[in-house]
Amino acid sequence: MEQTQFTFDQLPNAVWQLTKEVEALKVLLLQKSQPVEPDRWFDLSELCAYLPEKATKPTVYGWVHSSLIPVHKRGKKLYFLKSEIDLWLKEGRKKTYAETAAEANDYLKRKGGRNGR
């Protein structure tokens, strides 16, 4: 296997890229290790009971109104798909300092940076 040489300036971006690849591998491993469960629909009450923080109905209505939570609407009834809710919950993870710094560095590189960098 060929080794790639990185300059010091390229290192944050390389670490960020490696972190993304490791995250993708973790997702694949988790998918393979967990038994496949058929997706299911929640009504509002079922969703409130399912959420880790046991949110109240008014709280969920606020999230729906603000388009913060994935929702399906049939007439006046709200429905939530378990797989979408699980993904939404996972996306709420806060980024580490290293991830944020690498993204900022990547952004600056794409935008040409400052001070001629």
> Is 46 inside any structural domain?
yes
Split into its structural domains, the chain has a count of 1
- 69 pLDDT band, cuts 50/70/90, is very high
> Is 18 inside any structural domain?
no
The whole-number pLDDT of residue 94 equals 76
Cβ density class 73-106: b for 16+ within 10 Å, e for less = eeeeebebbbeebeebeeeeeeeeeebeebeebe
Residue with tokens 């939404």: 88
Q: What is the pLDDT of residues 26-67, one digit of tens each?
A: 888 877 776 667 899 999 999 999 999 999 999 999 999 999
Q: pTM here?
A: 0.53
Tell me if 85 sits within 8 A of 70, measured CB to CB.
Answer: yes
Structural domain containing residue 72:
38-96
> Is 14 inside any structural domain?
no
> Is 23 inside any structural domain?
no
> Is 19 inside any structural domain?
no
Q: What residues contact residue 54 under an 8 Å CB cut-off, 6+ apart?
A: 48
Residue 65's domain is classified under what CATH number?
A: 1.10.1660
Least Cα distance to 78 among 63, 91, 97 occurs for: 63
